[in-house]
Structure 1
């Protein structure tokens, strides 16, 4: 069995639901994880899932901000006991499992706080929230060791030097500061392997996000790798292939993030 899991910060599912047809055609995923759906659950455009041939849908959303969802060709079992991170009830995680040879695979879909513009927890509440969120996720996965799990999402941190267009210029810019990188690495080290860098060596540039502020994003190519797919060590032997759908940044009314996917041979 091949299981392809795609992840995308769609930046409003109602605005960009038509793009999901392009994603499905190009990546041919079995599971699509979305972030920043920006819609309460009762207004989620559920018809798009059926149109795509994804009859199974789980969602956790709120008005205007955040929001996560999982669309699947395979039956999903919702993880009911996910934490209320930082006590904010702000719809930043949804988890579910799918059946596969060897047992269920748990999929964790995360949207980590962006953290604002000032990399100082005392001067910026949003940055403090981001660091607290990362500390809580690390503590949770230390306590509940993941097994046969895939963690995906917009984690809003580019950890490696080649995950940003200029390591030197972005060291003091939120998303690439040492304190964030250390926090993200500590979370990953609770029991996950960077599945995308499994295929793309760490000395090669790799981005999944380009700012809307760059009018000609492709020419300037000032990107960052903010979107990630991690797998637990027991799934590393199953890693088969990956794709980063860079072309999506040029779609009409694009998200500033592009979809990426990993295929497991289970």
Structure 2
């Protein structure tokens, strides 16, 4: 299930710290069969062991999620962000990079020697970069496709009070342009993916866990620039928003951004490349999310949207979202 991206045992400490998933999809997925998955899913799949209360001085943990839209193409932007912001963990989506070409040395040189990733050439791809060791990496497959859309790992004991927290990194299918599953296979795939994710997650999240990623859904009215105009636009249709909010609510996940900043305040994390002046038009959507398990809700101190990166050279259309916990 895991191993080096290039085969054999790597020679350096930085190389030994990473785990790649080069082969076919592993996990308990059985295609788009939510009923079959529901019978096997349990709450423990989401989280680690419940931790006792701590009385020591609080420690801050920061976890950033960013759909980078090609990690090799935008490696300079990623390294710049890491240098300027120094998150403890960076979760990437849409890396579009085969495992053997993942830029491990560049990240190790920036202090992120612990990396797990699952890649594909030109498509999809997810990765978790950490300043702390990552344990028990896993990748789940959905809808009988060999797509690199999920990876998870557990923070090691070197993370101090954060040790034992399970990190999930997701890249949900975009869904194409037409919000009709009968005529658009991409939209059907997206809805099936969300249904399978709901079944896989089980009833309730247990233990300390964080779920981040590009979920490609703006679930709430004020997560888009115009609720009325986008009701029939993929990413904000009732079918998608209800699916995402249902799976989040059933599992008990807390939407960290809205936990701190309720509606009607607008929050955007994505601005289309198609807009000639994205900043002036400001027609954004909140597609990138950070959720925490209920036991971590009281530790959430900030959710920061790094809007400035959208104006960098050759930017991703998504911007980093950073979750800060005080443990």
Are the equivalent residues in 2 in contact too, given 1:38–1:65 (CA < 8 A)? yes
Segments of 5+ residues of structure 1 without an aligned counterpart are: none
Give the C-alpha shift of residue 144 in structure 1: 7.0
2:319 maps to which of 255, 258, 261 = 258
1:142-163: per-residue Cα shift (whole Å, max 9, x none)? 1573421100000000011111
Q: What is the Cα-based RMSD across aligned positions, in Å?
A: 1.3
Aligned match for 1:169, one of 209, 229, 233: 229
Q: CA deviation at 1:42?
A: 0.7
Give the match for residue 49 of structure 1.
107
1:79 is paired with a residue whose SS is strand
Contact 1:27 1:261 in 2 (8 A): no
Q: Which residue of 1 aligns with 2:149?
A: 92
Q: Provide the residue aligned with 2:52 in structure 1.
A: none
- Whole-angstrom distance in 1 between the partners of 2:204 and 2:292: 15
Match of 1:33 in 2: 91
Map of 2:76 onto structure 1: 18
Confirm or deny: 8 A CA contact 1:61 1:68 kept in the other structure. yes
Aligned twin of 1:202: 263
Residue 83 of structure 1: how far off its partner (Å): 2.8
* Paired residues of 1:165 and 1:221 also in contact (CA < 8 A): yes
Alignment-derived partner of residue 151 in structure 1: 211
Counterpart-to-counterpart distance in 1, 2:218 and 2:204: 25
Contact 1:58 1:78 in 2 (8 A): no
| Matched length | 265
Structure 2's unaligned 5+ residue stretches are 1-58
CA distance in structure 1 between the aligned counterparts of 2:177 and 2:267, rounded to whole angstroms: 23
Please, what TM-score do these two structures have when normalized by structure 1? 0.96
The answer to whether the 8 Å contact 1:5/1:33 transfers is yes
Verify the 8 A CA contact 2:61 2:162 in the aligned structure 1.
Answer: no
Q: 1:196 Cα shift?
A: 1.0
